[in-house]
């Protein structure tokens, strides 16, 4: 605190509270809509107090989906989202750890080539090469499978860079000591590199879990069967073009369920989240 | 930077990089090459005839009024998203940096929208602004006499997607600004305060210049975000409509390719987009390197 300015402090608090309210309002509204009947939601203006159908709506979507549109149970979708998010997070971390280890601790022909090849992936968002990637996945027969959902998103330049940067800061003496003690490269990797990378892995995991859970375009294309939908795709399929036909209370209950896991991860793993976010962008 | 201590093995390093390289080759390099090649071909929708046409697809694109319009829409959209996202986040970060009580609470409450999927954010905003049932559309009409109907009016549809995109991006910008603000030495601020500079003077004269690296970094990141990560927002809310008023470039690539089945044209658009990404990435890396060598 540099100086006392009670009025300025009050103004700051006021603005921050306003900011928090504006940021939270869409989600509050979503929650309210998810506790009401379909009829109550479409009456403009909708009530801003919670209705009495909370459990009913959530039980309905978790077990049976919506009544008129998609009848796929959201419980199954949540499972798909979870599998996808975990597979992408764990897969990315695993292959990036291995390749960063190879690039830092070995010198071998074509090392630079590999490094640049990985670098290239950083530059090509899925959206840009979507048509040919879809064709390859279709040709490999991976549509409507977890492998098709996750494999194309698993290569990651960012994670490889992060681990490479981190490995470069590990003192050389550790590797020398390990070699004198007769440890091979894999022993060194498992016993020394992995434990040292724990915080980096945790931070990256949080970011990648959110990234995987929130994927939209790729699962939209790759999944055609209802039992392979992810939650985010499920919401899209539940909406119709007309407002009256959409069962907004159920759509909003699903939206709440789609937001819950990643938001909880951010709130409860905030330290890792902030670290991961700030470091992956360096 | 190189390691002094290394391990020796003829096959192990290759085995270690193999998974990464394999996935990169199959799902990144190969499709990107395909897109490049496809952009030089014209194919009918059933794939029965293919003709090599050189750069004709690109020439056609540059003469296509819809494509040029899409460029304009993307420019307006990304500038609006970057401008509002950055300025609102900066304002909130400066406030949060100043207050002592409750700053942890404010921080938590302002960063969680990062975890909301773009598609879900779009649905939330769609619901608030729905012309028939949306509570904000209703309030605008009954309290201010302003008719909101983004299904008919392109400018309103664009504001809707900008709103959803900014709402989601504020938390990200906020975190980086807060980190940047907390890295500014307090002694500088105190010295300025002793010299009689008020809060506004200190902000303009000291804080803003010291934040400029963060500001520039966020500008690039927000541009990339608006260009590519907002596909889900557009597709889940306006689908590029009404009359292509919200059809940004990345949405058009998808729409022309998957729905319009114009493979050559879509691939040519992909190639142009790749060029834009590479340019933005190079700018970003140039900048990051500069920051490191200070």
ipTM of the complex: 0.85
- The 10s digit of each residue's pLDDT in A45-94 is 777 777 777 787 888 778 777 766 666 788 888 899 999 999 999 999 99
Pick from A139-153, B10-24, B27-41: least confident: B27-41
Q: Give the DSSP letter of residue A50.
A: -
pLDDT at A128 over 70: no
pLDDT at B89: 94
Distance CA B58, CA A88 (A): 35
User: For residue B214, is pLDDT > 80?
Assistant: yes
8 Å CB contact of A44 and B134:
yes
- What is the DSSP annotation of chain B? ---SS----SSHHHHHHHHHHHHHIIIIIHHHHHHHHHTTEEE-TTSS-EEE-TTHHHHHHHT-HHHHHHHHHHHHHHHHHHHHHHHHHHHHHHHHHH--TTHHHHHHHHHGGGGS-HHHHHHHHHHHH-TTT-HHHHHHHHHH-----TTT-HHHHHHHHHHHHHHHHHHHHHHHHHHHHHTS-HHHHHHHHHTT--HHHHIIIIIHHHHHHHHHHHHHHHHHIIIIITHHHHHHHTTT-STTTT--HHHHHHIIIIIS--HHHHHHHHHHHHHHHHHHHHHHHHHHHHHHH-
Taking a contact as any Cβ pair under 8 Å apart, which residues of chain A between 54 and 113 contact chain B?
A: 94-96, 98-99, 101-108, 111
What is the average per-residue pLDDT within A31-47? 79
Structure tokens at B147: 């008719």
Sign of CA dihedral A211, A153, B119, B35: positive
A37 DSSP 8-state letter: -
Q: Quick one: which H or E segment has residue A228?
A: none
Q: In angstroms, how far is CA B170 from the centroid of its own chain?
A: 12
pLDDT at A242: 55
**Closest C-alpha among B211, B210, B224, B198 to residue B283:** B224
Mean pLDDT on A215-242:
82
Chain-centroid distance of CA B169 in Å reads: 8
Q: Which pLDDT score is estimated for B293? A: 37
The residues near A1 (Cβ < 8 Å, ≥ 6 apart) are: B100
* Chain A residues whose beta carbon lies within 8 Å of the beta carbon of residue B199: 5, 8
Q: What is the pLDDT of residue A58?
A: 83
Dihedral of alpha carbons B270, B273, B277, B283, sign: positive
Whether the Cβ atoms of residue A105 and residue A178 lie closer than 8 Å to each other? no
pLDDT in tens, B126-158: 888 887 778 888 888 778 877 777 777 778 888
* Mean pLDDT of the residues in chain A: 84
CA end-to-end span of chain A, whole Å?
30
Nearest to residue A261, comparing CAs of A215, A220, A214?
A214
Contacts of A74 in chain B (CB under 8 A): none
Of B7, B142, B263, the CB nearest to A105: B7
The answer to whether B267 touches B57, Cβ cutoff 8 Å, is yes
| DSSP helix/strand/coil, A242 | coil
pLDDT at B224 over 90: no
Query: What band does A179 get if pLDDT is binned at 50, 70 and 90?
Result: confident
Are the CB atoms for B112 and A255 separated by under 8 Å? no
Residues on chain A touching B16 (C-beta within 8 angstroms): 98-99, 101-102, 106
Contact A23, B163 (CB under 8 A): no
Q: Are B150 and B157 in contact (CB under 8 A)?
A: yes
For residue range A103-120, list pLDDT tens digits in order: 888 888 888 888 888 777
A34-48, A137-151, B195-209: segment of lowest average pLDDT: A34-48
**Confidence band, pLDDT 50/70/90 cuts, at residue A127:** low
Summary mean pLDDT of chain B = 82
The mean per-residue pLDDT over the stretch B99-110 comes to 84
pLDDT of residue B155: 81
Contact at 8 Å (CB) between A267 and B116? Answer: no
Q: Do B32 and A132 touch (CB under 8 A)?
A: yes
Q: Which one is predicted more confidently, B168 or B131?
A: B168
The secondary structure of residue A64, as a DSSP letter, is H
For residue A244, pLDDT beyond 70:
no
Rounded to an integer, the average pLDDT of B3-29 is 84
Using alpha carbons only, give the angle A137, A142, A145 rounded to the nearest 5 degrees: 135
- The alpha-carbon gap from B57 to the nearest alpha carbon of chain A, in Å, equals 16
Identity of the residue in A95, A216, A274 whose CB atom sits nearest the CB atom of B232: A216
pTM to 2 decimal places: 0.87
Percent of chain A exceeding pLDDT 90 equals 13
CB contacts of B175 in chain A (<8 Å) are 274, 277-278
């Amino acid at each position: 605190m540099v100086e006392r300015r009670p009025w300025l402090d009050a103004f700051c608090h006021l603005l921050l509270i306003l900011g928090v309210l504006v940021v939270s309002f869409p989600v509050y509204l979503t929650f309210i809509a998810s506790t009401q009947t379909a009829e109550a939601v479409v009456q403009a203006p909708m009530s801003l107090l919670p209705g009495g159908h909370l459990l009913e709506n959530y039980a309905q979507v978790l077990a049976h989906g919506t009544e008129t549109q998609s009848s796929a149970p959201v419980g199954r979708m949540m499972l798909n989202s979870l599998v996808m998010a975990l597979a992408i997070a764990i897969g990315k971390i695993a292959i990036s750890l291995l390749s960063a280890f190879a690039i830092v601790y070995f010198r071998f022909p074509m090392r630079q080539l590999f490094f640049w090849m990985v670098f290239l992936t950083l530059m090509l968002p899925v959206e840009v090469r979507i048509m040919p990637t879809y064709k390859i996945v279709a040709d490999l027969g991976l549509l409507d499978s977890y492998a098709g959902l996750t494999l194309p998103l698993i290569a990651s330049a960012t994670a490889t860079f992060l681990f490479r940067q981190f490995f470069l800061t590990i003192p050389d003496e550790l590797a020398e000591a390990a070699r004198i003690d007769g440890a091979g490269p894999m022993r060194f990797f498992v016993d020394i590199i992995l434990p040292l990378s724990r915080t980096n892995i945790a931070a990256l995991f949080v970011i990648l879990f959110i990234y995987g859970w929130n994927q939209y375009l790729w699962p939209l294309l790759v999944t055609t069967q209802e039992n392979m939908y992810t939650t985010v795709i499920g919401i899209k399929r539940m909406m119709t073009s007309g407002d009256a036909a959409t069962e907004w209370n159920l759509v909003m209950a699903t939206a709440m369920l789609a937001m819950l896991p990643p938001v909880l991860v951010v709130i409860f793993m905030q330290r890792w989240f902030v670290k991961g976010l700030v470091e992956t962008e360096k | 930077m190189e390691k002094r201590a290394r391990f020796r093995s003829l096959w192990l390093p290759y085995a270690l990089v193999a998974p990464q390289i394999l996935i990169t080759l199959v799902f990144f390099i190969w499709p990107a090459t395909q897109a490049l090649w496809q952009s030089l071909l014209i194919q009918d929708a059933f794939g029965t005839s293919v003709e090599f046409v050189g750069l004709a697809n690109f020439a056609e694109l540059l003469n296509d009024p819809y494509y040029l319009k899409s460029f304009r829409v993307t420019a307006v959209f990304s500038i609006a998203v970057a401008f509002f996202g950055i300025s609102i986040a900066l304002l909130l970060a400066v406030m949060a940096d100043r207050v002592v009580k409750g700053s942890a609470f404010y921080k938590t409450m302002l960063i969680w929208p990062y975890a909301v999927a773009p598609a879900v954010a779009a649905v939330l905003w769609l619901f608030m602004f729905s012309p028939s049932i949306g509570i904000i559309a209703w309030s605008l009409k009954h309290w201010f006499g302003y008719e909101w109907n983004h299904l008919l009016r392109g400018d309103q549809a664009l504001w809707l997607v900008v709103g959803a995109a900014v709402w989601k991006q504020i938390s990200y910008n906020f975190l980086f600004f807060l980190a940047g603000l907390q890295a500014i030495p307090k002694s500088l601020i105190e010295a300025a305060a002793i010299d009689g500079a008020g809060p506004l003077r200190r902000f303009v004269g000291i804080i803003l210049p010291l934040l400029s690296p963060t500001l520039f970094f966020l500008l690039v990141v927000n541009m990339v975000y608006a260009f590519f990560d907002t596909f889900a927002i557009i597709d889940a809310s306006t689908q590029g409509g009404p009359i292509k008023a919200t059809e940004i470039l990345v949405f058009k690539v998808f729409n022309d390719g998957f729905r319009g089945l114009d493979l050559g044209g879509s691939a040519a658009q992909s190639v142009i987009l790749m060029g834009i990404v590479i340019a933005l990435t190079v700018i970003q890396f140039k900048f990051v390197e500069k920051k490191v060598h200070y």
